[in-house]
Amino acid sequence: MECECSSLIEIQGFGGYLHYSSTLNNMMKNVENGFFEIFSESNFEIIFQCKRCKQIWKLGKPDFPVQGYFLRSSSI
């Protein structure tokens, strides 16, 4: 059985704050459901780790002119 990471798509830049907010809400639901844990959190970035495959995902908050991101990462 595959983990939740297989259904996630990397985002190089959000189309707006609502796009970021939707992604954040989905990841927080994944945390609540026990698929991910929050590894680290700051004002600008949240780092999630998949509990099954240990993949790291970084969610960067948009702050004009930066568009934010949601990316796989090999390191923290």
With bands split at pLDDT 50, 70 and 90, how would you rate the model's confidence at 2?
Answer: confident
The pLDDT score that the predictor gives to residue 39 is 94
Q: What pLDDT score was predicted for residue 76?
A: 64
Q: What is the pLDDT of residues 16-69, one digit of tens each?
A: 899 999 999 999 999 999 999 999 999 999 999 999 999 999 999 998 888 999
pTM over 0.75: yes
Q: Is 36 buried (19+), middle (13-18) or exposed (0-12) by CB count in 10 A?
A: buried
DSSP class of residue 34?
Answer: T
- Give residue 36's identity as a one-letter amino acid code: F
Backbone phi, then psi, for 71, in 5-degree steps? Answer: -130, 145
Residues 37/49, Cβ–Cβ less than 8 Å? yes
The confidence band for 75, taking pLDDT boundaries of 50, 70 and 90, is: low
What is the count of structural domains for the chain?
1
Q: Which domain holds residue 31?
A: 4-73
